[in-house]
Structure formats: C-alpha cells, structure tokens
C-alpha cells in the first residue's frame, strides 16, 4: 500500500501561516483600541462652542463698570449692540453722560442702558416687555448696583415700547410740558421688524430740547422732517444712526 505523501511545507505554506498570525494580532490590537476608546473621556468643547456658550454675555466697555459682564436670556429678536458700535455711539455722545436722562426703549440685554449708567447718566429708564429679559435686567442691576445704589438712577418697566411712548405723550399734553423728559433715547428694536414708521411722531414728544435718538436698523433710515440724521455708520448688516430734530429756520 502506498502511503499518502505528507503535505508540502514550502514557502506558500509558511506565508499562509504568517498571514493568519498577523490577522490574529491585528484583531487583538483593534480590540485594545476599542477598549481604550471606551475608557477615554470625551474631549471638552472649546470655549464658545455649543448652544449658547458665551453668546449670551455682553461686556460694558467703559466707565465705572468697565469690563463688567452682564448676561441675558435667549429671547427672539434680542441682539445686543456690538462692542465696536457701542464705542462709536458713546464717542458721538461725548463719553461722559453726566446729567443726562436716557430712555432705553427696547432694553433687551440692557447693554446700552447700563453703558450709559456706567458713564454717569443721571437716570435711565429701560422698557422691556419680555418677562425673562426683564428678570435678567433686574439681576444685572442688583449685581452692578450692589443692592439699592441704583434705585434712584434706574427704572425697569414692563411695557410695549410704542404704548409707553404714547402714554408719555399724553401725560406731557396734560401737564402742558413744552418738551419731553429724555436727553438720549436708545432705539434698537427687534431686528428686521418695521417699527420706525410708527415711532417718529411719539419719539418727538418724549425728547428734551436738544436731545438725540440713537437708532439701529437692518436698512439705512431716512426719517421724515423735522428729523435729521446727524451721524451714521454701518457694521455688517446693522445700520446705526444718531438722529435729532432740526432747529427751526429763522427768517
């Protein structure tokens, strides 16, 4: 009887064995990698990444509260005035607002009103109809004013901006006032909403003699007479203006 020949042990056999060994080693390394990945903590998001991270804070840029930070909630249409634009605005206003009474008509984050108070405004009235935004304004006032120190310089009122202006106009007529109460009115309504057509007439009734209106909008403003644009600029999609009432012509 012939015996069966033993299997060949040539180069091909050794290569196949080597490949099988390498495959087993690769599988072991993959298993170890997966296990290490499961143990490793997830990387932290960089500052500013993620929903709302760092986006709901605004910094006061000058005055007694320079570099202090105020916070605000996520409210549709709430868009604080950028640092660079605020810097330009308060350069226009002369930096120091000592003795001035200001109206922050769409207060939102309070960036403009608190900036005015930081620069020695005599009084600021903030109008904000959203309850969450008002609560944040009150919290910021408590933090900045350390309790009652702001009580005589700040009013936060929950009201519709237009209705507030109309009520002020009615009160001035009743009291036979020849001019309004505010030296500066900050008017930064929700972006891309058509507010100004309704605001010009009642704004004239609350502005003190020689007073100015600061207005932000999605498009360049062309107010009706006797209003006139004194200064203006643009930052990205935002147009900003310093507007006053033209002095009557003398014969």
Output the pLDDT for position 192. 63
The residues pairing with 9 across neighbouring beta strands, listed in sequence order, are: none
| Distant-in-sequence, close-in-space partners of 186: CB < 8 Å, separation ≥ 6 | 102, 103, 104, 105, 106, 112, 113, 116, 214
Q: What is the pTM of this model?
A: 0.74
- At 226 the pLDDT is 94
pLDDT score recorded for residue 178: 53
pLDDT at position 80: 85
Per-residue model confidence (pLDDT) at position 51: 34
Instruction: Give the pLDDT of residue 135.
Output: 93
pLDDT at 247: 83
Cα–Cα distance, 149 to 146 (Å, whole number) = 6
- Dump pLDDT digits (tens) for 193-212: 678 999 999 999 999 999 99
> What per-residue confidence (pLDDT) applies to 176?
55
pLDDT score, position 76? 78
pLDDT number for residue 103:
97
| CA pair distance 60, 195, nearest whole angstrom | 27
How confident is the prediction along the chain (251 residues), in pLDDT tens digits per residue? 444 444 444 334 444 444 444 445 444 444 444 444 433 333 333 333 333 334 689 999 999 999 999 999 888 778 888 899 999 999 999 999 999 999 999 999 999 999 999 999 999 999 999 999 999 999 999 988 744 566 689 999 999 999 999 999 987 666 655 557 899 999 998 876 678 999 999 999 999 999 999 999 999 999 999 999 999 999 999 999 999 999 877 65
The pLDDT assigned to 195 comes to 86
Domains and CATH numbers, the chain: 57-245 (3.40.50.150)
């Amino acid at each position: 009887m012939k015996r069966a020949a033993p299997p060949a042990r040539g180069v091909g056999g050794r290569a196949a064995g080597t490949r099988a060994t390498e495959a087993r080693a690769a599988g072991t390394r993959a298993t170890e990698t997966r296990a290490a990945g499961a143990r490793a903590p997830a990387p932290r998001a960089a500052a500013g990444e993620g929903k709302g991270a760092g986006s709901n804070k605004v910094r006061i840029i000058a005055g007694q509260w320079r570099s202090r930070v105020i916070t605000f909630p996520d409210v549709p249409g709430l868009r604080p005035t950028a640092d660079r634009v605020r810097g330009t605005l308060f350069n226009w206003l002369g930096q120091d607002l000592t003795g001035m009474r200001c109206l922050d008509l769409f207060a939102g984050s309070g960036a403009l009103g608190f900036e005015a108070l930081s620069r020695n405004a005599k009084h600021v009235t903030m109008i904000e109809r959203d309850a969450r935004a008002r609560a944040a304004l009150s919290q910021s006032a408590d933090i900045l004013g350390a309790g009652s120190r702001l009580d005589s310089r700040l009013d936060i009122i929950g009201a519709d901006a237009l209705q507030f202006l109309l009520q002020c106009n009615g009160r001035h007529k009743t009291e036979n006032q020849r001019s309004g109460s505010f030296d500066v009115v900050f008017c930064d309504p929700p972006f891309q909403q058509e507010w100004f057509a309704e605001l010009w007439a009642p704004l004239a009734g609350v502005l003190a003699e020689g007073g100015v209106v600061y207005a932000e909008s999605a498009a360049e403003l062309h107010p009706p007479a006797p209003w006139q644009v004194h200064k203006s600029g643009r930052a990205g999609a935002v147009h900003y203006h310093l507007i006053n009432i033209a002095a009557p012509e003398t014969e």
